Amino acid sequence: MSAPLLNVQGLCVEFGPKAAPIRVINDVNLRVDPGEAVGIVGESGSGKSITSLSILRLVPEPPSRIAAGSITFEGRDLLAMPKSQLRHMRGRDIAMIFQEPMSSLNPVMTVEAQIGEAIMLHERMSRAERRARVIQLLRLVGIPDPESRLKAYPHQFSGGMRQRVMIAIAVACNPKLLIADEPTTALDVTIQAQVLDLMKDVREKLNTAILLISHDLGVIAEVCERVLVMYAGHVVEDADIRSLFENPKHPYTRGLLRAVPSLTDERSRLYQIPGSVPQAGSIKQGCPFYARCDLRQNICAQTMPAMSRHSSSHQAACWVTQNLSEVRSA
């Protein structure tokens, strides 16, 4: 097995005073290999975005802090890296597409200036070379007649076009890892499909690894080979896409899949998982999904299960499915 591009081990993130911390990320393990596309899926409040922001150390300290764990990129320790070196790495080696392009783009800077700024921070180019690179990037992300759009401002673009500009900024310096946080939120399904196709195209042309965060399993399945399911700050399942869809092991994952609308299902009502994600830090022991789980047992309320391997590419943290697997293999 090749060395991972990104390796996160035992990540724990806390908010609030050290005397009474609120833990929002609990013992998260995550690996992304070079050129691989990995997804993180879960409801709002499950910890997906905090995990991604923690990788680049973009969560403000204080009020937050990384309480435990390690984050390495190409073997380099990001938690021990000086901030000046980390700033140089952001955008060049690891880039991020944020959730809402209208609030992420500067409303008083032209598209050319904003993409050019990303290039200028990391590359030595003349103004003419930089302009040519901006046009090349706009063409790469599918913006028609890019020469005529250089002096346009974000408000002059549609939501889908703004997201394309965000992708152009993110890939301006050919990063090795692209973190995309809900890149299709608030886009209609047609534009959503175009953005996903664009991300796959960028990955193929630049051999960029992708960490895609979404609450939509359909979006994850479109882009990724492997997916982590998060719930209340925990990774509860880690599997390749085919295994996850064909044989989910965690009750939460099964609930998410049942909640996906189907054109062939004649059910009168769309399924929903009862209850809601618990407030951060409110679960002190046991499985955080206990209160919403229809398979719960006494042990589930007492101890958080460790990840149990069901195959070489599939593991889950569930007492019930772990016991069932042991019975079948006996």
Residue 325 has pLDDT above 80, yes or no: no
Q: Are 75 and 50 in contact (CB under 8 A)?
A: no
Tell me what the mean pLDDT of segment 158-175 comes to.
88
Tell me the HSE value of 69 on the side-chain side, using a 13 A CA sphere: 23
Q: Sort residue 159 into left (φ over 0), alpha (ψ -120 to 50) or beta.
A: alpha
Tell me what the mean pLDDT of segment 160-173 comes to.
88
User: Contacts from 258-267 at CB under 8 Å and sequence distance 24+?
Assistant: 260/217, 260/218
Tell me what the mean pLDDT of segment 192-204 comes to.
86
Give the model confidence (pLDDT) of 245-295 as tens digits. 999 999 999 999 988 877 676 656 778 888 888 888 788 889 999 999 989
Give the model confidence (pLDDT) of 299-310 as tens digits. 999 999 999 998
Give the model confidence (pLDDT) of 2-17 as tens digits. 789 999 999 999 998 8
> Taking all residues of the chain, what is their mean pLDDT, rounded to a whole number?
88
Rounded Cα gap, residues 35 and 237, in angstroms: 22
What is the token pair recorded at 301?
Answer: 């309320």
**In this prediction, what percent of the chain has a pLDDT beyond 90?**
55
**In this prediction, what percent of the chain has a pLDDT beyond 70?**
95
Rounded Cα gap, residues 212 and 218, in angstroms: 12
What pLDDT is recorded for position 265?
63
- Nearest C-alpha neighbor of 225 from the set 250, 207, 244: 244
Q: Which residue carries 């399924």 as its tokens? A: 271
Q: Are 154 and 111 in contact (CB under 8 A)?
A: yes
Residue 176 has pLDDT above 90, yes or no: yes
Looking at 60-64, 68-72, 164-168, 183-187, which range is the least confident one?
183-187
Q: Are 204 and 210 in contact (CB under 8 A)?
A: no
Local confidence band at 216 (pLDDT 50, 70, 90 cut-offs): confident
Angle in degrees, 0-180, between the axes of helices 159-170 and 189-206, rounded to the nearest 10:
20
Give the model confidence (pLDDT) of 33-61 as tens digits. 999 999 999 998 899 999 999 999 998 88
Please provide residue 101's backbone torsions phi and psi, each rounded to the nearest 5 degrees.
Answer: -65, -30
Q: Which residue has the higher pLDDT, 171 or 38?
A: 38
Which H or E run contains 318? none
Rounded Cα gap, residues 155 and 111, in angstroms: 10
User: Following DSSP, what letter does each residue of 86-143 receive, concatenated?
Assistant: HHHHBTTTEEEE-S-HHHHS-TTS-HHHHHHHHHHHH----HHHHHHHHHHHHHHTT-
Pairing of strands 234-240, 226-231: antiparallel
Nearest 5°: the CA angle 6, 7, 8 is 120
What is the token pair recorded at 270?
Answer: 């769309």
Local confidence band at 328 (pLDDT 50, 70, 90 cut-offs): very low
Domain boundary assignment for the chain: 1-212, 225-261+271-329
Give the CATH H-level superfamily of domain 1-212: P-loop containing nucleotide triphosphate hydrolases (3.40.50.300)
Q: Which residue carries 């399945």 as its tokens? A: 221
Tell me what the mean pLDDT of segment 179-206 comes to.
84
Residue 329 has pLDDT above 80, yes or no: no
Give the model confidence (pLDDT) of 98-134 as tens digits. 877 677 899 999 999 999 998 998 888 899 999 999 9
What pLDDT is recorded for position 283?
82
Instruction: Report the sign of the C-alpha dihedral through residues 269, 216, 243, 323, in that order.
Output: negative
Residue 327 has pLDDT above 50, yes or no: no
